Amino acid sequence: MNANRLILVAAALALVACSDNYQPSLTDPTGSTTPPVPVLQRLRGTVVLDEQYGAPSLQTDMGRINMNGAPASAMASVEGAQVIVVGTLDDTMGLTVESFEVIAIHGQAALDGHVDMDDQGNLSILLPNDELVLVDNPPEGLREYIGRRIWLIQGGGEVPTEFGPITVPGLTV
């Protein structure tokens, strides 16, 4: 009986091995068939807009990278800004943006945060790391942006303070 079973098992294995329906699975060297987990990357570059569609992309030392994801839409409002972008990079989809921070506008260091006002009426910028930076000489119109995200270049002396909203185009808050 044992010899018959052995012959039956060997025949079954031979049929499976010769099958035309064999489909190899993609595996990495460890034998895993699960796709790799995307790794968050931090990239620095300049926001540029597609001339035809107005979609933002990131110009880096490595070249231009297409961007997608909800935060990428808001980057259209800071065309020309230097930014640091956190996201996952994919050969087919480009950079899926999770967050970004404006670090310079017109070649000048900029703050990126939400306008805040204290009990005495002083305006500050609440940065992503929860640090409050007092706006020394608030420009006219900045109070209209309390609670909203902006970029701001602190002026000094004769240099005026500049700011602009960071918004998704067409969306009013």
Does residue 118 lie in a domain region?
yes
Does residue 114 lie in a domain region?
yes
Does residue 124 lie in a domain region?
yes
User: Residue 168: which pLDDT band, with cuts at 50, 70 and 90?
Assistant: confident
pLDDT higher than threshold 60 for residue 173: no
Task: Report the C-alpha gap between 94 and 58 in whole angstroms.
Answer: 10
User: Residue 36: which pLDDT band, with cuts at 50, 70 and 90?
Assistant: low
Asked whether 135 and 90 are in contact (CB, 8 A), the reply is no
Does residue 54 lie in a domain region?
no
Does residue 161 lie in a domain region?
yes
Task: Report the C-alpha gap between 162 and 142 in whole angstroms.
Answer: 9
Question: Across all residues in the chain, what is the average pLDDT?
Answer: 82
Give residue 2's pLDDT.
56
149: three-class secondary structure by DSSP: strand
The token pair that represents 34 in the structure block: 């699960």
Does residue 126 lie in a domain region?
yes
Read off the pLDDT of residues 112-156 as tens digits, 9 standing for 90 and up.
999 999 999 999 999 999 999 999 888 889 999 999 999 999 877
Give residue 154's pLDDT.
87
**Which domain covers residue 124, as residue numbers?**
110-165
What is the pairing mode between strands 111-117 and 123-126?
antiparallel
Q: What is the pTM of this model?
A: 0.74
Give residue 29's pLDDT.
58
Read off the pLDDT of residues 54-98 as tens digits, 9 standing for 90 and up.
789 999 998 999 999 889 999 999 999 999 999 998 877 789 999
Mark out the alpha helices in the chain (DSSP H runs): 2-17, 70-74
